[in-house]
Amino acid sequence: MPALSEQTFMDYFSILNLDREPFSNSPDPSFFFQSRQHVDCLQKLELALRLKRGLNIVIGAVGAGKTTLCRTLLKKFSADNTIESHLILDPSFNSPLAFLEDICSMIIGKDISGNDGHGFKEQIKHHLFQKGVDEEKTVILIIDEGQKLPLFCLEILREFLNYETNDHKLLQIVLFAQEEFQDILDRHANLADRVNLIHFLGPMSLADTRQMISFRIKQSSNQPRPPQLFTRPALRAIYRATGGYPRKIINLCHQCMLALIVQNRTRVDWRLVRSCRDRSLAQRWSPHRNQRTMAFSVLVFLAVIATVYMVIPDWLPSIATRVTGGNSTPVVENAKANLPPLMAVPIAVPHNPVPLKQPQPTVPIADMLQPVDDLSAANPNQVPSPSPTQAAPISDNLEFTETVHEKTTSGQPAQKTDNPKQIQPSLLGALTVKKNDTLGLMVKIIYGDFRDRILKTVLEANPHIGHADAIRVGDTIAFPAFPAAFVPRAYPLWWLKVDQTDVLETAFRRSMKAARNKDAPLMRIIAQWDHQAGMKYGIYVTGYFFNLAAAENMMANLPAEFSGSAEIISGWTDQTILFSDPFLGKGS
């Protein structure tokens, strides 16, 4: 095949009977694919802005489509004469005065210099009143890369929200930010309380990935039937390689199109996707793949040994039992003392299927919670499940266990033991709302994440609330217990546990205390349950550690009030059920 010229590569789309490049990485609104979550976000934003509700935030991972959504929103409002839209692409300001000067010149439309901070604010306020009241216009300020905003900029934006009439806010603000912006909201309750809408953008589904690729090809072609350039296995391979993130999908598809031309093919198959993946996603496929494969094989082998040991405990008598006075008593030894380092790392936290309980009727929240409080006080080591007539309604995919009555070989009930098996609860517990508490903050700390599906489940369990912004001081909020679904890692990780308690309220207030301490790291709750110990609420430093030294360094720098009971763990037992994803947050 003759060498391809630079012009050929520049116009590769014309070789494939396309009119323009289908997988450009520029945020072109004409290529905005209306996936379900992106359309939902766009509709919520438009409604909030037209109602003049104030501050709205869109949070998503890198490459989730935030910038394209931002440009689409601007294009949507560009034809509306009653709306003035302003965009800040890079909010990395070095001083409050620079930020105010930029906002002032942008909104007022002329360069104003020589003013101090107060002068800028007064001019902005006067202009917003003129536009919002006299001319009845809506002024919108959109900020991309919101996670770069310094704290003084956030404080100024909070002050802008005070510019309002009796009916509405005079300045509408939309922040598009990456996931770390949630940490900023957690630390600044006075800003979080001003948020009208917060929407989380996640990865797309396989169906949306297929449709987005087809949509982009169709947008690039004027033919009645656009070319089918990808096989169905190739589309599935693209989804697996990118995880459903739009930017990764676009970059990988672009590489596949170039390879299609170079290799003189007519369609992209899964083999071509795999070869392009190795080049375009190098961070996921490093030169040490063979070493990782070997390490993973060793972990799988150890997992098989552990499984056999659980089924046949006498297989390794020297490890499984300790003989004292002629009696052989099973014990669990310290992992660090008796196992090789690799054995101390858990392979996964299993979630075995259990019988599904029938849906329960809705009852008043006070009736539902009273038995939990009473029983918890009687036995602090056990958080019982509500009775069948008291259970809160929760999602259909939640699973519960029933009490196991063991029998002897003769068929008679076994003797009661001093440590009976606990029943997996349907509630994690309840919190009483105090000043500055928000439902979003509660959900974030307890479940480690604040997604629509989690918030919806919590609201379903609390029909007396009605809306996330409608909670009041003194309200009692119940939090359903549903096992977390997460992908286990095939390499060792460590977590720093600061404390552990039997009461959810205690764990939450201790986490909140850490949030108010500027010298303490952010903390979260990881609720865990097993048949023997029942429910425990661990208070952990947010995130996890890739090496033990980093965890030890963090523990050494904890404030004195948090370091007394701190310990480093490397995982959980196979019998433990976690109710929040331990891998949420940044690794370090």
* Cα-based torsion angle of the residue sequence 95, 98, 99, 100 in order, rounded to the nearest 10 degrees: 120
Write the single-letter amino acid at 490: A
- At residue 111, φ and ψ (nearest 5 deg) are -75, 120
Asked if residues 505 and 431 have their Cβ atoms less than 8 Å apart, the reply is yes
Write the single-letter amino acid at 82: T
**265-289 confidence digits (pLDDT tens):** 888 999 899 888 877 544 444 444 4
* Angle at CA of residue 457, ends 451 and 462, nearest 5°: 125
**381-395 confidence digits (pLDDT tens):** 443 333 333 333 433
Q: Strand runs (DSSP E) across 382-522, as ranges?
A: 427-432, 476-480, 495-501
- At residue 499, φ and ψ (nearest 5 deg) are -165, 170
* 3-state secondary structure (DSSP) of residue 516: helix
Asked if residues 72 and 42 have their Cβ atoms less than 8 Å apart, the reply is yes
Set out the domains of the chain in order of their start, with CATH numbers. Answer: 6-27+205-280 (1.10.8), 36-201 (3.40.50.300), 289-344 (no CATH), 351-588 (no CATH)
**564-580 confidence digits (pLDDT tens):** 889 999 888 888 899 98
Q: How many Cα atoms sit within 13 Å of 161 on the Cβ side?
A: 19
User: Residue 114: what pLDDT?
Assistant: 57
Other Cβ atoms within 10 Å of 558 Cβ, number: 18
* 3-state secondary structure (DSSP) of residue 223: coil
Which of the four pLDDT bands, split at 50, 70 and 90, describes residue 187?
A: confident
Asked if residues 53 and 172 have their Cβ atoms less than 8 Å apart, the reply is yes
Instruction: Please check the confidence at residue 379 and state whether its pLDDT lies above 80.
Output: no
User: Residue 289: what pLDDT?
Assistant: 47
Whose CA is closest to 24, among 10, 34, 36?
10
Whose CA is closest to 54, among 141, 118, 137?
141
The structure tokens listed for 581 are 């994803």
Whose CA is closest to 292, among 281, 303, 284, 280?
284
Contacts of 312 (CB under 8 A, 6+ apart): none
Which of the four pLDDT bands, split at 50, 70 and 90, describes residue 141?
A: very high
Radius of gyration of the chain (CA): 28
* Cα-based torsion angle of the residue sequence 140, 145, 146, 150 in order, rounded to the nearest 10 degrees: -120
Asked if residues 385 and 426 have their Cβ atoms less than 8 Å apart, the reply is yes
Whose CA is closest to 200, among 27, 29, 449, 448?
449
Write the single-letter amino acid at 455: L
- At residue 322, φ and ψ (nearest 5 deg) are -130, 120
Whose CA is closest to 444, among 340, 542, 547, 344?
542
Whose CA is closest to 66, among 178, 149, 158?
178
Beta-bridged to residue 87, according to DSSP, are 142
* 3-state secondary structure (DSSP) of residue 472: coil
Rounded to an integer, what distance in angstroms lies between the CA atom of residue 162 and that of residue 182? 22
Contacts of 117 (CB under 8 A, 6+ apart): 96, 97, 100
Mean pLDDT of the chain: 76
* 3-state secondary structure (DSSP) of residue 372: helix
Q: What share of the chain is helix, strand, coil (3-state, %, to 5)?
A: 40, 15, 45
User: Residue 209: what pLDDT?
Assistant: 92
Write the single-letter amino acid at 391: A
Lowest-confidence region among 185-189, 457-461, 515-519: 515-519
**Maximum Cα interatomic distance, the chain, rounded to a whole number of Å:** 94
**241-273 confidence digits (pLDDT tens):** 888 899 999 999 988 988 888 888 888 999 899
Whose CA is closest to 529, among 567, 491, 499, 484?
484
